[in-house]
């Protein structure tokens, strides 16, 4: 061990050069990996856009028609039309219904877990939520196709069971665990002093919940709902299997629709590589990328709103 000396030399025993260099290399690698998430997001955008780009200058494509026309005839010989409005409406209907169904239940469950139940039940319910969130989307889609669609058909008398209602129910079941767990976190983040102050005033737990906790946690809850919407919009396999396959603007809750995601999954296999149809599907991917990007960034800003307060 080196003792303090007056010679001005380092007090530490010198490490071998290879150890110092190795550590520098490793730190460089760590930094690179740290930035990798940004690289991946940019790469996703770049490669999807790269495949989509040539179609933007094609004579069959025009942006207004793409976004505002419900006519999706990508394989028509005489008159090719690429309008994704019906798909956008389909996505909006299914995810709207799913979120509408999921939000009350998941917020209720989150409040119950966070405020009303004992520690043991709380543990169990949190584990159940985690397991629910883990069920693969293809299994949900399979359930939608074989189980709930039959129930929907029997209950409503609809001609086909795979429709908006069925897809909405399945997507709601998928969204509930996500919204519930994030909302539970948001409720947990409310300081206990708030609860104590309300208790001291004689409030019951229900009063605490709707007078104190919900206003205090509203940003977190909003973010939870937004992330649920993001999940619903981006879900592919479940809606592919559970919503039917009709590209049309629905007139009721019992019509079959096709969503943006399901459309890509259904047609990408058939579209010849590098064809116009194929590129249009990549363009739909860009559209989806932007929708979820906006939702995620908004949710993040909403959450940051609380932290700054």
Partner 1 sequence: MNSPRIPSATTGTESGSASRFTATPFVRKKERREAAAKWIFFSMAAAMVLPLLWLVSYIVVRAMPSLSLDFLLDPPLRGMTEGGIWPALVGTIYLIVVALAISTPIGVLAAIYLNEYARENWFHRVISMAVINLAGVPSIVHALFGLGAFVYAAQFGYSVISAALTLAIMTMPVVITSTREALASVPRSFREACWNVGATRWQTIKAVVLPNSVGGILTGIILEVSRTAGETAPIMFTGAVFYKAVERGDFFPYQLNDQCMALSMHLFALSTQVPGVKPSLPFATAVILLGVVLAVNATSITLRVWLRNRKKW
Residues 203-262 that bind partner 1 (CB under 8 A): 204-207, 209, 227, 230-231, 233-237, 241, 261
Of 56, 62, 73, 108, which one interacts with partner 1 (CB under 8 A)? 108
The least distance separating partner 1 from the CB of residue 305, rounded to whole angstroms, comes to 14
| Paired residues of 82 in beta bridges | 72
Asked if 270 is part of the footprint of partner 1 (rule: CB under 8 A), the reply reads: no
Identify which range of 92-100, 107-115, 152-160, 249-257 contacts partner 1 by CB under 8 A.
Answer: 107-115
Residue 79 binds partner 1, judged by CB under 8 A: no
Among 56, 75, 100, 116, binds partner 1 (CB under 8 A): 116
Q: Is 160 in the site for partner 1 (CB under 8 A)?
A: no
Q: Which is nearer to partner 1, 17 or 59 (CB)?
A: 17
Which residue, 195 or 254, is less far from partner 1 as judged by CB?
195
Q: Examine residue 163 and tell whether it contacts partner 1 (CB under 8 A).
A: no
| Residues 3-32, interacting with partner 1 (CB under 8 A) | 12, 23, 26-27, 29-31
Q: Which is nearer to partner 1, 77 or 273 (CB)?
A: 273
Q: List the one residue from 21, 67, 139, 155 that touches partner 1 (CB under 8 A).
A: 139
Among 75, 150, 196, 197, binds partner 1 (CB under 8 A): 196
**Most distant CA pair in the chain: distance in Å?**
94
Q: Is 56 in the site for partner 1 (CB under 8 A)?
A: no
51 binds partner 1 per the rule CB under 8 A:
yes
Torsion-angle region of 274 (φ positive above 0: left; ψ -120 to 50: alpha; else: beta) = left
């Amino acid at each position: 061990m080196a003792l303090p000396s007056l010679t001005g030399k380092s007090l530490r025993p010198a490490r071998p050069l290879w150890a110092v260099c190795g550590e520098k290399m490793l730190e460089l690698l760590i930094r690179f990996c740290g930035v990798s998430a940004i690289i991946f997001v940019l790469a996703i955008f770049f490669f999807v856009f790269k495949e989509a780009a040539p179609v933007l200058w094609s004579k069959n494509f025009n942006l207004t028609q793409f976004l505002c026309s419900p006519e999706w005839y990508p394989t028509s010989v005489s008159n090719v039309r690429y309008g994704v409005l019906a798909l956008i409406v389909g996505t909006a209907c299914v995810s709207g219904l799913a979120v509408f169904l999921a939000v009350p239940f998941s917020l209720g469950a989150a409040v119950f877990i966070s405020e009303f139940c004992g520690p043991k039940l709380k543990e169990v319910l949190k584990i159940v939520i985690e397991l629910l969130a883990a069920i693969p989307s293809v299994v949900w889609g399979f359930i939608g196709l074989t189980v709930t669609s039959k129930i929907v058909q029997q209950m409503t008398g609809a001609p086909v069971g795979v429709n908006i209602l069925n897809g909405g129910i399945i997507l709601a079941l998928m969204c509930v665990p996500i919204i519930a767990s994030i909302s539970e976190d948001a409720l947990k983040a409310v300081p206990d002093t708030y609860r104590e102050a309300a208790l001291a005033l004689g409030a019951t737990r229900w009063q605490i919940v709707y007078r104190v906790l919900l206003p205090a946690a509203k940003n977190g809850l909003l973010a939870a709902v937004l992330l649920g919407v993001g999940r619903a919009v981006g879900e592919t396999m479940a809606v592919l299997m559970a919503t039917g396959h009709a590209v049309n603007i629905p007139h009721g809750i019992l019509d079959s629709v096709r969503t943006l995601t399901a459309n890509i999954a259904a047609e990408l296999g058939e579209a010849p590589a590098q064809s116009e149809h194929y590129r249009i599907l990549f363009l739909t991917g860009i559209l989806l990328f932007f929708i979820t990007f906006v939702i995620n960034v908004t949710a993040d800003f909403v959450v940051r709103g609380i932290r700054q307060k």
